[in-house]
Amino acid sequence: MCQQEDGSDIICKSDEEIKEWLKQKYILTLNNQRRFRLEEFRKGKVVPESRTNWIPINTQYREEVVFKIEITSLELQDLIWQWGNWTKENIDSIFKIAQVGSRPYEFKNRVHVSVTFELLLDQTVIDRQVYSVLDWLGDIGGLVEALFFIGSTVMFLFQFGQFDSMLVTNLYKQNKKPAFN
């Protein structure tokens, strides 16, 4: 950081001087949290993050800076073949830390800034289910109808042309003697 004094000389501060000035004016906090990405279905749906917050130190009045911790529970059915609780994935480690504001600090001691972390009592639950193969079979007419359709298609492929062969062999007879000598 450089500044010009009385129009001629430029005075630059060193990095240590700048850091020392910031330590007197701000509190730096590093918040680790885990975020859920809705668009991902396999690996990478839970992303760890780190965020920094600069909390200004106010020398005029005493205050308490409040951070809220919000916990989210995930119940995911992300597989095409769903078998109830066997394929359900439960993730309970999603949390978010957010600064909500500040309030006056009214205790009689020598504290100017207090930082508190409060856990919200509400828990958000995300329940996601994908459209599975059994859902699709149910939508086109039920499992029995789908199995009947698949079975008749397979039987048609195995018996293709056998009725024509039976008709030809019964209607036309082949001579036992060769036609030429």
Q: Residue 138 — pLDDT band, cuts 50, 70, 90?
A: confident
Q: How far apart, in Å, are the Cα atoms of 156 and each of 93, 113, 137, 163, 170?
A: 53, 81, 21, 11, 22
Q: Residue 159 — pLDDT band, cuts 50, 70, 90?
A: confident
Strands 46-56 and 63-77: unpaired
At 41-60, the pLDDT tens digits run: 767 788 888 888 788 877 77
Contact (CB, 8 A) for 130 and 79 = yes
Q: Is 32 a residue whose pLDDT tops 70?
A: yes
Q: Which of 58, 82, 94 is nearest to 137 (CA)?
A: 82
Amino acid found at 75: E
Q: Is 99 a residue whose pLDDT tops 80?
A: yes
Residues 6+ positions from 149 with CB-CB distance below 8 Å: 141
Q: 73 vs 168, which has greater pLDDT?
A: 73
How many residues are listed for the chain in this entry? 181
Q: Is 62 a residue whose pLDDT tops 80?
A: yes
Contact (CB, 8 A) for 53 and 65 = no
CA distance 127 to 120: 20
What end-to-end distance do the CA atoms of the chain give, in Å? 115
Q: Residue 145 — pLDDT band, cuts 50, 70, 90?
A: confident
DSSP character string of the chain = -EEEETTTEEEE--HHHHHHHHHHHEEEEEEEEEEE-TT--STTSEEEEEEEEEEEPPSSS-EEEEEEEEEEEEEEE-SSS--GGGS-EEEEEEEEEEEEEEEE---SSS-SEEEEEEEEEEEEEEEEE---HHHHHHHTT-HHHHHHHHHHHHHHHHTTTHHHHHHHHHH----SS-S--
